[in-house]
Amino acid sequence: MRSIIIYFKDIFSGIWSLLKGMRVTASYFFSPGAIVTEKYPENRKKLVMFERSKGELIMPHNDKNEHYCTACGICQLNCPNRTIEVVSKTITTADGKSKKILDRHIYWLGRCTFCGLCVKTCPSHALAFSQKFEHAVFNKDLLTKVLNHPGSQLKKGVE
């Protein structure tokens, strides 16, 4: 007797749960507002990318043309496929000490896999990702970029 009750209970609870599932999918079917697809080339003008999207590596500069990079080279060490080369130079400061500063932060976009290890490991938060994602160019050389702006220098107080 008990097994018969279980048998019918199984059937009805099964049907009920199946109907519940179908109600969810049918509600999605009848709600065109919930569609998340972006029609990319058409909506290019007003396309807003998410802040977390990894477009390309940049080095943020403030309005006084100062960056945070101390040329420590940790990003270069952490990069799995040698996308970054930090070229440093040694200068002598006004009080006679010699100091290593950033000359060129070279970034080969063509090799980058956008893993984000450089951004994550940078001790002075000098690197970031921009949301620009249209990288197609006709010349491979254009993919080699120098991230620090010409004439920029290290922000005072960051060592």
Partner 1 sequence: MAVQIMLMTSEPWWRVFYDFSSFTKSIDEGLRSSMSSFWAVTIEMVITAVVFLLFYAVIGLFLVYAERKVCAFIQNRLGPNRVGPFGIFQTVADLIKLLFKEVIPIKNADSFLFNLAPYIVIIVNFMLLAAIPFSRGLHAIDLNIGIFYIIAVTSMSVIGVLLAGWSSNSKYSLIGAMRSGAQIVSYELSVGLALITIVILAGSMQLSEIIEAQRTGWFIFKGHIPALIAFVIYLIAGTAETNRGPFDMAEAESELTAGYHTEYSGMKFAFFYLAEFINMFILASIAATVFLGGWMPFHIGSWDGFNRIMDFIPPFLWYIGKTFFLIWIIMLFKWTFPRLRIDQLLTLEWKYLLPINLVNILIMSFIVLMRWHF
Residues near partner 1 (CB under 8 A): 11, 18, 21-22, 24-26, 28-29, 32, 34-37, 39
CB of 31 to partner 1, least distance (A): 8
* CA 109/CA 141 separation, integer angstroms: 10
Token digits for 70?
Answer: 């101390």
Beta strands in 93-133 (DSSP E): 98-108, 128-130
Residue with Cβ nearer partner 1 (32 or 150): 32
Residue with Cβ nearer partner 1 (12 or 138): 12
Residue with Cβ nearer partner 1 (34 or 94): 34
Query: Is 123 within 8 Å of 72 (Cβ atoms)?
Result: yes
- Distance set, CA 5 to CA 1, 11, 12 (Å): 6, 10, 11
* CA 123/CA 69 separation, integer angstroms: 9
Residue with Cβ nearer partner 1 (18 or 91): 18
CB of 112 to partner 1, least distance (A): 29
CB of 54 to partner 1, least distance (A): 23
CB of 35 to partner 1, least distance (A): 5
